[in-house]
Amino acid sequence: MQKINWYPGHMKKTKELIQTNLKLVDVVVELLDARVPISSRNPQIDEIIIGKPKVIVLNKSDLANPKTTNEWIHYFKKSGINAIAVNAMNGAGLDKLTAELEETVKIKMEARIEKGMRKRPVRAMIVGIPNVGKSSIINKLTGKKSAKTGDKPGVTRGKQWVRLKGNIELLDTPGILWPKFEDQNVGLKLAFTGSIKDEILDIETIALRLIEYLCDKYPEYMKERYKLKMIEEDGLVNMENMAKNRGCIISGGRIDYTRIANVVMDEFRSVKIGKITLETPDDLESAMDE
């Protein structure tokens, strides 16, 4: 399998864009994939937003293990950061997000009024890696009849503020960050969840790595879904048994590895195997101890 790389040129440009517009916002929304909260965040984000108040949004919570999602929310809260689970496809959790944004900057807004400044909407910016649902969330938050509130001083030409439900304005900028793939496991997990296009990867190897993980962490799910009598130690043997049970066979009785690979990837992403989270707070704490 080829090495998955990150793009420092793109990263530098995006970092500068965010920093340029950061002074215009009151709060940052950091968007993560609820299935991979560690791998779907850029490790430089806190440095980039320079201590600006932040709310974490765990999107795609409908695809993740609800128990583990709650563990993540509790973990972030202990770290002094409020986190909310949402589903951008149906809008679940987004009302709670708008309320949380207002609460996060409540003291700042009250201080403005005490100084005799006029009341204004809360201004927010969303940052996140590609394919975690930024556009879907913005579309749900703004609604079809969202009104652009016009250019603000100091904003790069073409950037717009859009009014959200509630007293909130969103700076509609391409707040996209690429993660650093120094740890190849990060690249693998983003490939599992579809954040990296399948076309640039070896799908058979990616699927084998996913099978190995799922057979280790979710053996009962795998046995039930793929009619496995038992989980073997060798991941390739499990993959071959799954292929036989699904009829992924080509002439001569040989295993069709590409077909079973695509089946597993599709069924994982469509939650047919089960609601699965690939990273837990314990994983993060273990990595920090190493």
Q: Is 263 annotated as a binding residue?
A: no
Q: Is 40 annotated as a binding residue?
A: no
CB-side exposure of 104: number of CA atoms within 13 Å?
Answer: 26
Q: Is 67 annotated as a binding residue?
A: no
Question: In Å, what is the CA distance from 232 to each residue of 108, 128, 168?
Answer: 57, 38, 53
Q: Is 134 annotated as a binding residue?
A: yes
User: Which residues have C-beta within 8 Å of that of residue 52, sequence separation ≥ 6?
Assistant: 22, 25, 27, 28
* DSSP conformation class of 278: S
Q: Is 286 annotated as a binding residue?
A: no
Q: Is 131 annotated as a binding residue?
A: yes
Q: Is 93 annotated as a binding residue?
A: no
Q: Is 256 annotated as a binding residue?
A: no
- Please give the helix or strand (H or E) that residue 101 lies within, else none: helix 94-104
Q: Is 187 annotated as a binding residue?
A: no
Q: Two tokens at 220?
A: 């009962």
Q: Is 135 annotated as a binding residue?
A: yes
Largest CA-CA distance found in the chain, in angstroms, rounded: 82
Pairing of strands 27-33, 122-128: parallel
CA distance linking residue 175 with residue 127, whole number of Å: 4
Q: Is 198 annotated as a binding residue?
A: no
CA distance linking residue 84 with residue 34, whole number of Å: 10
User: Binding site for GTP: residue ranges?
Assistant: 59-62, 131-136, 175
Which residue numbers belong to the known binding site? 59-62, 131-136, 175
